[in-house]
Structure formats: C-alpha cells, structure tokens
Amino acid sequence: MAKRFNIPKKIQQLQRTKATLPRVIGNMAKNHFLESWRNEAFSDTSTGSNPWAARKTATKQDRRTGKRRNLLVQSGALRRSVRVGSATWSAIRVGSYGIPYAQRHNRGLDGMPQRQFIGSSAMLNKKIRARLANEIKRII
C-alpha cells in the first residue's frame, strides 16, 4: 500500500528547518574560513587556493627554536574573532569582529601582503548548495 504524504508534518519540518538553517549555514561559512589558518591559504575553487605570502624574516623565537610559527598566529586573537554576526534568511554575516587590523591582513592594505581569510568562495557556495539540497530531500 502506498505511503501517505503527511502535509502538516512536512510543513512543520520545513518551518523548523527554516528557523535553524541560516545559523547552520553561517557556521559552515565560519568553519570554511577557519580552514584558511590550517592551510595558510584561502580556498576558492574558481581561482584555486590562494596561498598566503611567506613571512619576510623569521621571528626571534623562530630563530631560537628552529621551528616556523604559522602565519597570522601570534596570540590567536584574529582567528578567534571570526564568528557569525547574524544569520537570517535575508542575510548571513560572518566576519572578524573586534580586531582593527583584520581588514589590513584580509585585503593587503598599508603595505601588508594580502593574506585573505574571509571572502567570497565558490567552494563554500558549492557546500551550501549541497546542504540545502540535502535538507530539501530530507523533508520531502
């Protein structure tokens, strides 16, 4: 016998998904941007990976220990500042909040080399489309 299509239940699932999905997508974006620190490159499939410029000189600690410290990590404040600012169906905002030098690093301003960690990414858009498709299939 054929399975009945329970419309009120599907509407309830859709409303629950509509309430939670923007925050889920915002967290996906945040995690994608945090991958930049692990890879020391901004991931975007349309242009490939955009590796960060190497440090010009080793720091005093690097010379003393013989180990290379990761780029854009001294205190970790910049990496920790990346978070979801707001997440609604009209807009999802993920950014670096409370760090005045974040924009200089991300865009390469004031003579600094560009080390982009937040921005438009075809790879992220592909992940978001896949997640949306999976949610729709799950509900239907």
pLDDT tens digits, residue range 44-92? 865 667 788 777 766 676 666 666 667 777 788 999 999 999 999 999 9
For residues 93 and 12, is the Cβ–Cβ distance under 8 A?
no
Please state the domain extents for the chain.
Answer: 8-51+73-139
* Burial environment of residue 35 by CB neighbours within 10 A (0 to 12, 13 to 18, 19 or more): middle
pLDDT tens digits, residue range 20-30? 999 999 999 99
Higher pLDDT, 108 or 55: 108
Cα separation, 62 vs 46, in Å, equals 35
pLDDT of residue 73: 74
Closest CA to 89 of 15, 39, 35: 15
Cα separation, 102 vs 108, in Å, equals 10
Instruction: Specify the DSSP element, H or E, that contains 117.
Output: none
HEC secondary structure over 45-93: CCCEEEECCCCCCCCHHHHHHCCCCCCCCCCCHHHHCEEEEEECCCCEE
| Residue 64: alpha-carbon gap to chain centroid | 34
